[in-house]
Amino acid sequence: MIKPCFVFAVSILLLVSCGSDKTAQKQEEKTAINKEKDAGIYGYESGMVETHFGDTKNKEILFFDKWGTESACFTYSENRATGEVILSAIKIQKGGTSYLIDPVEKTGLKMENAFGQADLGDAKKILGYQEERKLEMLGSHVVGTENISGKKCKVWKDDAEEMGLTTYTHEGLVLKTIIDMFDEDIISEATEIQLNIDIPKEKFEIPKGIKF
Round to whole Å and give the CA distance between 126 and 150: 29
The pLDDT, as a whole number, for residue 188 is 97
CATH of domain 4-202: 2.50.20
Q: Per-residue pLDDT for 19 more than 60?
A: no
DSSP state of 22: T
pLDDT of residue 39: 57
pLDDT per position as a tens digit, 197-206 = 999 999 999 9
- Over residues 27-40, the pLDDT tens digits come to 444 444 444 445 57
The pLDDT tens digits of the residues spanning 122-176 come to 454 555 788 998 899 889 999 999 999 999 999 999 977 667 899 999 999 999 9
Band of pLDDT at residue 183, cut at 50, 70 and 90 = confident
Average pLDDT of 6-33? Answer: 43
Question: What pLDDT shows up at residue 91?
Answer: 97
Degrees, nearest 5: CA angle 208-117-203: 30
Strand partners, 6: none
Domain map (residue ranges) of the chain: 4-202
Strands (E), 149-183: 151-157, 163-170, 173-181
Gap between the Cα atoms of 47 and 17, Å rounded: 13
Amino acid identity, residue 103? P
| pLDDT tens profile 76-121 | 999 988 989 999 999 999 888 999 999 999 999 999 875 555 554 5
At 31 the pLDDT is 46
Which pLDDT score is estimated for 96? 82
Task: Tell me how far apart the alpha carbons of residues 182 and 15 are, in angstroms, rounded to a whole number.
Answer: 20
| Residue 2 predicted with pLDDT over 70 | no
- Predicted confidence at residue 174, as pLDDT, reads 97
Q: What is the pLDDT of residue 115?
A: 52
Average pLDDT over residues 173-195: 92
* pLDDT(182) > 80: no
